[in-house]
Amino acid sequence: MKKIDLVNIIPGNECNLACSHCANESGPKYKNTLSTSEISNIVDLLNRYKVEKVIFTGGEPTLYIDTINDIFSKLKYRPEVSITTNGVLVLEEGPQVLDRFLYLDHIQLSYDPYHGVDDIRLIKKIKDYSVKGDIGFNISYCVKEPKDLITVNNLQQSFDVDVIYERITKSGRAKKTGVHFEFQFFEESVLNEICPNKESLTYIQGSGWSHCCSNMVFNKNSLVTTNENFDEFIESPFYKNSINKTIGEISKLSSLDTKFSPDDSLICNACEKAFCGN
Amino acid sequence: MKSKLVIALIAAGMFSQVNSAEVYVDNLDEKTQNLLLKSLENEDIEKSPKVALATGPKGGREAQDKKSNQKKNLV
């Protein structure tokens, strides 16, 4: 890999919410965090590639500020830093909690009905904080069905803020709870798609590096989809096939006689089916 | 209105096939169809990108890209 555009870091699964659509089943019961060797591993890769954009998610990144700052303190350059937060700590303790991040250039507020935090004061608080500190701000909204876009539009209009939306895949808790985007028909065009994460990486606490950030790493399967050693990971069949072959080609390669269902119209769902079968 | 809404849903990245969008629209009451079409025809939502898979369900790439344009000279 010559270039890495973006690294997404999951420092652990601890979260102050346990959302029904959470892609990696985070929640309050988890207390896992990056070990010293994992931090060194991340720092080495960031320094080696001078990755420009680093995003911290989770779990909830505001519960991992010390760990995140530990990474920053070891970097030999200054990346552009973003967090994706549910904002609960901002509601409870005030936006000054965000001052504790050594670097912070962008806040993405994960806000939708599936979080169970229906408090629009949160949006205003973070927006005010971002304007005051000249920090980027947007809302990320998970869509279970298209009519959720009515709310997306209302949020954009009411708060004059960018709201980006995504369809919920059958990853993690979403797969178990059924809170995911549903289709009536299998849209075959997905068979011609290729995973777009060729130059993006995710580090998952306790697992290691992967370009996958959804079903294949968060739903239990028998394939090796992560590796603590980045150089070994990019030589893995999973990585090579995933970024070079279409979903249809992967499906043929795996020879599993896969039957795609309507919900496999989303590439992450189809990818899992192509690699792992029904 | 139905065909307009079908096209708008595909343009918004909700479906890639017409029959998927049509079935969805058929199951909505008229009031919701109107509201949804109005929302989708809003210029802002058309500009609003879908989240890239690069950061998956946690989102963020487009937001980051937008911020890059305004990025200050850091350190």
Does residue A172 have a cis peptide bond before it, meaning omega lies within 30 degrees of 0? no
> CB B50 to CB A165 under 8 A?
yes
**Residues of chain B numbered 14-73 and touching chain A (CB < 8 Å):** 14-17, 19-20, 23-24, 28, 32, 35-36, 38-40, 42, 44-45, 48-64, 66-68, 70-72
Span A186-212, average pLDDT: 93
Out of B13, B39, B55, the one facing A55 most closely (by C-beta) is B55
Q: Is the pLDDT of residue A10 over 90?
A: yes
Q: For residue A169, list chain B residues with Cβ-Cβ distance below 8 A.
A: 56-57
**Average pLDDT rounded to a whole number, residues B24-47:** 88
Residue pLDDT, tens place only, A107-148: 999 999 888 887 888 999 999 999 999 999 999 999 999 999
Of residues B73 and A110, more confidently modeled = A110
C-beta of residue A48 within 8 angstroms of C-beta of residue A146: no
What's the confidence (pLDDT) of residue B57?
44
| A196 touches B at CB < 8 Å | yes
Q: State the pLDDT at residue B44.
A: 67
Is residue A242 pLDDT above 50, yes or no? yes
Q: Which two tokens stand for residue A165?
A: 């939306």
Q: Is A171 on the interface with B (CB under 8 A)?
A: yes
Considering only CB atoms, which chain A residues are within 8 Å of B32? 147, 150
Task: Say what the pLDDT of residue B47 is.
Answer: 61
| Under 8 Å between Cβ of A178 and A170 | no
Q: Please list, in sequence order, all residues whose beta carbon lies within 8 angstroms of the beta carbon of residue A254, skipping any fewer than 6 positions away.
A: A274, A275, A276, A277
Interface test with A, best of B17, B25, B40, B53 (most A CBs within 10 A): B53
DSSP assignment, residue A6? Answer: E
pTM assigned to the model = 0.90
Chain B residues in contact with A77 by the CB 8 A cut-off are 75
In SS3 terms, B9-71 reads as HHHCCCCCCHHHHHHHHHCCCHHHHHHHHHHHHCHHHHHCCECCHHHHHHCCHHHHHHHHHCC
How far is residue B12's CA from residue A153's CA, in Å, rounded to a whole number? 12
Whether residues A152 and B55 touch (CB distance < 8 A) is answered with no
Position B48 scores a pLDDT of 59
The chain A residue lying nearest B41, using CA atoms, is: A153
Q: What is the pLDDT of residue B75?
A: 26
Chain A residue numbers with beta carbons less than 8 Å from the beta carbon of B59 are 84, 108, 110, 140, 164, 166
Q: For residue A8, give the nearest of B24, B38, B58 by CB distance.
A: B58
Cβ contact, residue pair A140, B63, below 8 Å: yes
Neighbouring residues of A2: CB distance < 8 A, sequence distance ≥ 6? none
Each residue of A168-186: b (16+ CB within 10 Å) or e? bbbbbbbbeeebbbebbeb
Sequence-separated contacts (24+) of A223-226 with Cβ below 8 Å:
A223/A275, A223/A276
Chain B nearest-CA distance from A268, in A, is 9
Backbone angles phi, psi at B48, to 5 degrees: -70, 115
ipTM over 0.90: no
